[in-house]
Every structure is written in structure tokens, then in C-alpha cells.
Amino acid sequence: MEGKVDVAVIGAGIYGLMTAHKLLLRGVRNVAVFERLFIGSGQSSRNAGGIRAQFANGATIRFMVEAERQWKCISRELGYNILFTRDGYLFSCFSDEDEGLYALHRKIQNENGVNSVWLEPGQVAELVPGINRDGLVGANFSSQDGILHHDAVISGLMFEIRRNGGKIFEYTPVERVERGASGGFLVHTRSGVFSASYVVNAAAACAPGIASQLGTTLPIKPVRRELIATEPMRHFMKPMLVSLKYGITIHQSLRGEFIGHTSANEPENFDLRAGFGFMVQYAKDITKLLPFMKNVRIVRQWAGTYDMTPDNSPVLGPAPGMPNFINAAGSSGHGFMMSPAVGSMIADYIGTGRIDDLMKPFRLERFETGELLTELVLSNRGVL
């Protein structure tokens, strides 16, 4: 198997698939996605499907607002229902000292187009019946945020890309990338060599290995992240609930299962086995936050690999000095929500050569210049 493609995308995760999809929409027909395992085998079919714009720095918030705008249209675009519901994200606050910080977050968010508001404990308990009100001060809440079903997105993209003539090669890892003639690249895969005018590096935590072959250093490291699903219960909790105090995120799926996470010490490697320590920690934490949960049973636990950068924000855009080698990696645990905007902006860049203003702050050079996209609270309390 050999060939010539306009764009070679490495990795069939949500970044790779969205980019391929948006390229095909722009009329770039000769697109190939190379995937080491099967479509969505990375984080993209292992996440919680949370979509939010409640971040704490302007650049990220503005990007997310654009992404949320695009998510609204994806079901129609793909002809495949992705089950996007906007029931909000609720950041509960259990400490008087944090109240000021929450207010600051709201201020930045409101200035950048997010409708987040402060809720009193009574209002919080209305949205989350059964929450432990001991020490509960209130919450930040935005009804713009929501939840979607990641498997539906991945599957919809897979069908749409194939319908539009794009190629996805599964079980075809990219082993080496080298510069070819006239600014292009040679992509060596396990099943043959492809020449490509553009390469999009969307290999998540494996992206640094590919970038380094072209002399670029990506500051991305893998970290295991786990989720737990319980048996289904009658649906009663609408928003995604986040607690900084307990390090927990949890929501209730359409089918009624609670899907959640707690911050635990996880290894910085590619280990995908579930850890018992995590299961126990989750049980201890969640039964403090939502005491009724002790009468609910866990049915599944699984792990994925986060691709973390020093400022917990992705690296997006062409590599310095290599306009045709584009990185889309390092999503640091909130990449799914960004993906439609990532895909369309990278496709636009390949089509026009222009970098979208919203994407500029995410360039790799920021780690040199010090213009980091650091979050105020979330990043150092384990909730991403």
C-alpha cells in the first residue's frame, strides 16, 4: 500500500476525525487518516462527554464559546444524532475563601460571552437533589454547557468521512515521518509509505514522538485518567456536577447511570488497566459529596490516557518553521469539547494559510514566550 495524499492525519481520535471531516467539507478530497488501533481507540471513546465554556482565561473561554456554537450544528451536519443536551455545568463551592475566586471566574466568563451565574445553596440542592449541604456555600452555574455522547460523535464522523470519500486506515500506525520534496512529507506507516503535502499530528500523548522526528519538541506527557459508571437510576440530576473540594466530576447519562471521576494519584504512563485504589477513593469521595450514592452500585470502571501540557491547554497550529506540519495535541483532558472548532480552524488554515485569531493563543511558541494559558483554580485542584 503506497500513495500520495494532500493531507495525512495521524490518529483517528476526535481531533483527527474532526480535522478530516472539516477538510472534506472544504473540498479537500484527498485526505487519509492513519490510526494505530481502531477508530476512537484513544481517549475519544473513553471520556465523559462534558462540554463547557466555564474556564478562567479569556482565550480558552472564547475558543470554547465558538466550539459550543459549532456543537449545536454537528448532529445536522453529520446526519447522526450526537445526543447533545445543554443542562449546564455546576461548579459547587464549599469554602468561603473560594467565593471570591468563583466571582472572579464569573467575571472573566461573563466578559467573554458565558452566561455563568452564582447559585445559592438552596438553588444548588434543587438542581442536585441529595447533595451534602454541609459547608456548601453556593455554586457557579452556566446553562450553556452540556453533555453529549462521544461514541455517537465518533461513529457519525466515521460514516460521514467515508461517505465524503475520505480514507481511514485502521491498525496502521505511523512509524516515521520525514521531510520530502517541496515542503511535503513522507509518512511511513506499517503498511506502506505515503507522500503528503500536509501532516496533521493528532496522536494525543504519542504526538511528541512524531514531532521529534521533525525536530520539534512538544511538552506533552501521558497521565492515566479513570471514570466510573454506576447502575442506572431514575433520571434526576441534570447538570454536570463539579466539586473542587472533593475533586469530583459527575453527571447522569441519558440512560440514568452516574458517570464520574475523582482526583487520585494516577501514574504518568500509558497504563490502561483500571486501578482499585481509584475505585475506593471514588467511593469515599462521592459518598461524602452525594451521600445517597452509597446505596448505588458501580458497574464499570475504565481508564484513558490524558495528554497533558504544562499549562493544561492544547498545542494547536503549524509547528515553528514548518508551515505544513500541524500539531493538534495535548488536549489536557478537555479536548473533546474543543474539537469542532479545532477541526474547522485547522482545515481553514490548510485551505487559506490563515491562522484563526481564536486559535493563535494555542500555538506551540507560547511555552517559549511565556504567554501561558494557565487556569486559576481548576488546573491545580485536579479537575480538568
Ligand X SMILES: Cc1cc2nc3c(=O)[nH]c(=O)nc-3n(C[C@H](O)[C@H](O)[C@H](O)COP(=O)(O)OP(=O)(O)OC[C@H]3O[C@@H](n4cnc5c(N)ncnc54)[C@H](O)[C@@H]3O)c2cc1C
Give the nearest distance from C-beta 135 to ligand X in angstroms: 26
Give the nearest distance from C-beta 145 to another protein in angstroms: 17
Which residues of this chain interact with ligand X, rule CB under 6 A? 10-16, 34-37, 41-44, 46-50, 173-174, 202-204, 206, 225, 227, 304, 306, 329, 331, 333-337
* Contact partner at residue 256 from ligand X, another protein, none, CB < 5 to 8 Å by partner kind: another protein
* Contact partner at residue 233 from another protein, ligand X, none, CB < 5 to 8 Å by partner kind: another protein
Burial of 135 (0-12, 13-18, 19+ CB in 10 A): exposed
Contacts by residues 295-300 (CB-CB < 8 Å, ≥ 24 positions apart): 296/230, 296/231, 296/233, 296/258, 297/230, 297/231, 298/228, 298/229, 298/230, 298/231, 299/229, 299/230, 299/231, 299/257, 300/228, 300/229
Burial of 158 (0-12, 13-18, 19+ CB in 10 A): buried
Residue 299 grid coordinates: 458497574
Give the nearest distance from C-beta 257 to another protein in angstroms: 9
- C-alpha–C-alpha distance, residues 77 and 81, integer Å: 10
Site for another protein in 233-252 (CB under 8 A): 233-237
Residue 297 as a binder of another protein (CB under 8 A): the answer is: yes
* Contact partner at residue 162 from another protein, ligand X, none, CB < 5 to 8 Å by partner kind: another protein
50, β-bridge pairs: 147
Give the nearest distance from C-beta 150 to another protein in angstroms: 10
Give the nearest distance from C-beta 215 to ligand X in angstroms: 17
Task: Kindly tell me which of 273 and 354 has the beta carbon lying closer to another protein.
Answer: 273
Q: Which one among 81, 115, 164, 195 touches another protein, defined by CB under 8 A?
A: 81
Strands 31-34 and 322-329: unpaired
* Contact partner at residue 43 from ligand X, another protein, none, CB < 5 to 8 Å by partner kind: ligand X
* Contact partner at residue 13 from ligand X, another protein, none, CB < 5 to 8 Å by partner kind: ligand X
Dihedral in degrees, nearest 10, Cα atoms 81, 87, 88, 89: -90
Task: Kindly tell me which of 112 and 132 has the beta carbon lying closer to another protein.
Answer: 132
Residue 256 as a binder of another protein (CB under 8 A): the answer is: yes
* Contact partner at residue 287 from ligand X, another protein, none, CB < 5 to 8 Å by partner kind: another protein
Give the nearest distance from C-beta 72 to ligand X in angstroms: 16
Count how many Cα atoms sit within 13 Å of the Cα of residue 168 in the half-sphere of its side chain: 28
**At residue 23, what is the residue type?**
L
Residue 156 as a binder of another protein (CB under 8 A): the answer is: yes
Is-contact 286 262, C-beta < 8 A? yes
Q: Which one among 117, 179, 302, 360 touches another protein, defined by CB under 8 A?
A: 302
Residue 254 grid coordinates: 441519558
Residue 167 as a binder of another protein (CB under 8 A): the answer is: no
Residue 274 as a binder of another protein (CB under 8 A): the answer is: yes
Phi-psi category of residue 88: left, alpha or beta, with phi > 0 → left and psi -120 to 50 → alpha: left
Q: Which one among 255, 267, 352, 371 touches another protein, defined by CB under 8 A?
A: 255
Q: Which one among 100, 134, 182, 273 touches another protein, defined by CB under 8 A?
A: 273
Residue 301 as a binder of another protein (CB under 8 A): the answer is: yes
How many CB atoms are located within 10 Å of the residue 254 CB?
Answer: 11
Strands 258-262 and 146-147: unpaired
Helix locations, 164-214, DSSP H: 207-212
* Contact partner at residue 50 from ligand X, another protein, none, CB < 5 to 8 Å by partner kind: ligand X
Is-contact 128 240, C-beta < 8 A? no
Contact residues for another protein, defined by CB under 8 A: 38-39, 45, 75-76, 80-81, 83, 85, 129-130, 149, 151-152, 155-156, 158-159, 162, 230-237, 254-256, 273-277, 279-280, 282-284, 286-287, 291-302
